Structure 1
Amino acid sequence: MELRLLATFEKVATVLSFTRAAAELKYAQSSVTSQIRALETSLGTELFDRLGSRIRLTEAGERLLPYARQIIELADEARAAVVGADEPSGTIAVGTMESLTSYRLPPLLELFHHRYPGVRLSLRTTIGDATKEALRQGTYDVGFLMEPERVHPGLESEVLAEEPLTLVAAPAHPLAARSAVTTAELTEVSLLATEPGCAYRDLFERELGCWGSHGVSFMEFGTIEATKQGVAGGLGVALLPAAAVARELADGTLVRLPWDPPFTLWTQLAWRSGKRLPSHVRLFVEQAVRLVREQASP
């Protein structure tokens, strides 16, 4: 089996589209089709079921896919070992989220920029389930997660740190002078949040829904920075990562409300189960574990 044919097969199997695979590989669609047919001929079996405009893997294709990925990853590792034995090099597609990119990852990004210039980091902003699915499909090499669960089907993960959450308001907010705030009281005030799908927003909404006599609604903002500005302007309260509001709490722009969330989130770094990480990706994982843990430790 030719490596080129396996690489084409892996791409088609990942995106389940000959047209999209051709675009990403920068091939003519006819070339992708002929390569898949050549691979099927060499193996003596069909790898895809053609269902009109859609395709899906056959049982044989499902069995071949993990081997194809292992062969491709091993070939990449061998190439890197021969071509760049002294200096790490290669591209890493990293799934991340705003709160981590802005408040946890700068030391890691600076390290790779200055010490490992041959490693190019491609940061892709997604959250939760979208990041996990991209990892399973091989679209991302590694991905940062902020989740209550520490085990994820189809993924291996390394827990980096517990991620504290803080309920914040403007200093003039009616709840700011309280010595204690109950969950039931929070269902009666204006709530601000980032988009749905963010783990701490979804858990917060679920918790409030258990106490409120009516549906809980949020004024949604696209980013954490915009949410903080809305809170500072007196529009309501918001639950955000403590690292994201540390500066505002220190300068008095925001105040912490005396309410502790009944759930815990963990910042994690994950990759597809069984994936053979190339040396430059292993280096990234090792440095991420070290630096994020150092930053998060008291």
Structure 2
Amino acid sequence: MDIRHFKTFKSIIEEGNFSNAAMKLGYTQSTVTSQIQQLEHELSIKLFEKIGRNMVLTPLGKELIPYADELLNTVKKIESIGKYGDNITGELKIAVAESLMSYKLQNVLAMFKEKAPNVRLSMVALNCYDIKNMLASGEIDLGLMYNVGSKNESLNAVKLSDFDVALVCSPQFEQEKLDFSTPNQKINTSLIINEVESIYRKILESYFFDKNIFLDNTIELGSIEAIKKCVASNLGISFLPRFTIEEELENGKLKELKAGDLNAKITAIYAHHKNKWISPAMSLFIELVRKDFNIQ
């Protein structure tokens, strides 16, 4: 059997279809189709079937996934024999919560690039729930995110730090006229926040739900920098990790709002699948993260 066929099989699963897998691998779509047909012939099973216009995994195709993962992990181990120190090579796939990516990982990334310049580092910023799912399915090697509860037994997770979350507004916001502590009220302002699956958005919305407090509307934005600028322009309030707004609080561009018993913290963690082989590149990245967060 050709290892490339298993790599193609895994790429189709990760990319969602044959054409995207072909683009990722640098093949033509006919080459991808041919490789899968050869693999099906060698295994004497059908891996994909056409449903409407889409090719979807058969039950036997789904059964092959963990074996393909195990095989490709073994190949990575073999390829990395002797490749340590300045000679670390290979690929490392990481998913990170956007706030950690933007404000907490810059030193780690700079050091990793310096120590392992030949590693192909793939990074994506996602919400924590998506990161957990990708770790569980083996689509990524390592995740840096916040603890969102609902422990997954297939993952190994290590605590990095607890962080405060703050309710903030523009200095022009008339805080004295509004009360975010008294229950049963509607407040004439907007919540400017990121996507629904954001852990700190869930914390604030749960607080408002318990207090029966309603805001005018919610403005969803894709980046913390955009959120901060809109809040500074007095378009509404937001609820963000304190480390992302320290500079704005110090220079007076943002102001913290008090909200009774809303004293929230979020916990940053790193995690990987318990069966994931810790490659030299992954080991180095974890080492740098632990050092940067003062984890012994």
Q: Aligned equivalents of 1:244 and 1:229: distance in 2?
A: 12
Q: Aligned equivalents of 2:61 and 2:151: distance in 1?
A: 27
The amino acid of 1:290's aligned partner reads K
Q: Aligned equivalents of 2:155 and 2:92: distance in 1?
A: 17
Q: Aligned equivalents of 1:216 and 1:146: distance in 2?
A: 28
> SS at the partner of 2:211?
coil
Larger fraction in strand: 2
The question of whether the paired residues in 1 share the 8 Å contact of 2:97 and 2:125 is answered with yes
Once the 2 structures are TM-superposed, how far is the Cα of residue 61 of structure 1 from its aligned partner? Answer: 2.1
Q: Aligned equivalents of 2:187 and 2:54: distance in 1?
A: 49
Question: Counterpart of 2:152?
Answer: 152
> SS at the partner of 2:275?
coil
Question: Counterpart of 2:89?
Answer: 89
The question of whether the paired residues in 1 share the 8 Å contact of 2:200 and 2:240 is answered with yes
**% identical equivalent positions:** 28
The question of whether the paired residues in 1 share the 8 Å contact of 2:84 and 2:280 is answered with no
The question of whether the paired residues in 2 share the 8 Å contact of 1:96 and 1:143 is answered with yes
Q: 1:233 to 1:9 in 2, by over 3 A?
A: closer
Question: Counterpart of 1:166?
Answer: 166
Q: 1:221 to 1:6 in 2, by over 3 A?
A: closer
Q: Aligned equivalents of 1:95 and 1:151: distance in 2?
A: 18
Q: Aligned equivalents of 2:188 and 2:262: distance in 1?
A: 17
Question: Counterpart of 1:101?
Answer: 101
The question of whether the paired residues in 2 share the 8 Å contact of 1:176 and 1:256 is answered with no
The question of whether the paired residues in 2 share the 8 Å contact of 1:209 and 1:216 is answered with no
* 1:231-246 equivalent positions in 2, closer than 5 A: 231-246=231-246
RMSD: 3.0
Q: 1:19 to 1:136 in 2, by over 3 A?
A: farther
Question: Counterpart of 2:226?
Answer: 226
Q: Aligned equivalents of 1:177 and 1:282: distance in 2?
A: 53
Question: Counterpart of 2:199?
Answer: 199
> SS at the partner of 1:50?
strand
The question of whether the paired residues in 1 share the 8 Å contact of 2:154 and 2:274 is answered with yes
Q: In the TM superposition, what whole-angstrom CA distance separates every residue of 1:173-217 from its partner, at most 9, and x where no partner exists? A: 332699x85163885142322333322113312331333365762
The amino acid of 1:266's aligned partner reads T
The question of whether the paired residues in 2 share the 8 Å contact of 1:161 and 1:266 is answered with yes
Q: Aligned equivalents of 2:185 and 2:283: distance in 1?
A: 44
**TM-score computed with the length of structure 2 as normaliser:** 0.84
The question of whether the paired residues in 1 share the 8 Å contact of 2:187 and 2:215 is answered with no
The question of whether the paired residues in 2 share the 8 Å contact of 1:93 and 1:122 is answered with yes
Q: In the TM superposition, what whole-angstrom CA distance separates every residue of 1:247-275 from its partner, at most 9, and x where no partner exists? A: 12223332322335365422122334422
Question: Counterpart of 1:285?
Answer: 286
Corresponding position: 1:255 with 2:236: no
Q: Aligned equivalents of 2:23 and 2:37: distance in 1?
A: 18
The question of whether the paired residues in 2 share the 8 Å contact of 1:48 and 1:56 is answered with yes
The question of whether the paired residues in 1 share the 8 Å contact of 2:185 and 2:213 is answered with no
Question: Counterpart of 1:69?
Answer: 69
| Stretch deviating more after TM superposition (209-218 or 194-203) | 209-218
Aligned residue-pair number: 294
Q: Aligned equivalents of 2:107 and 2:176: distance in 1?
A: 34
Q: 1:12 to 1:188 in 2, by over 3 A?
A: same
Once the 2 structures are TM-superposed, how far is the Cα of residue 244 of structure 1 from its aligned partner? Answer: 0.5
**TM-score computed with the length of structure 1 as normaliser:** 0.84
Q: Aligned equivalents of 1:248 and 1:37: distance in 2?
A: 58
Q: 1:42 to 1:226 in 2, by over 3 A?
A: closer
The question of whether the paired residues in 2 share the 8 Å contact of 1:12 and 1:18 is answered with yes
Q: Aligned equivalents of 1:241 and 1:183: distance in 2?
A: 23
Question: Counterpart of 1:5?
Answer: 5
Q: Aligned equivalents of 1:99 and 1:40: distance in 2?
A: 43
Question: Counterpart of 2:271?
Answer: 270
Q: 1:220 to 1:46 in 2, by over 3 A?
A: closer
The amino acid of 2:204's aligned partner reads F
Question: Counterpart of 2:183?
Answer: 184
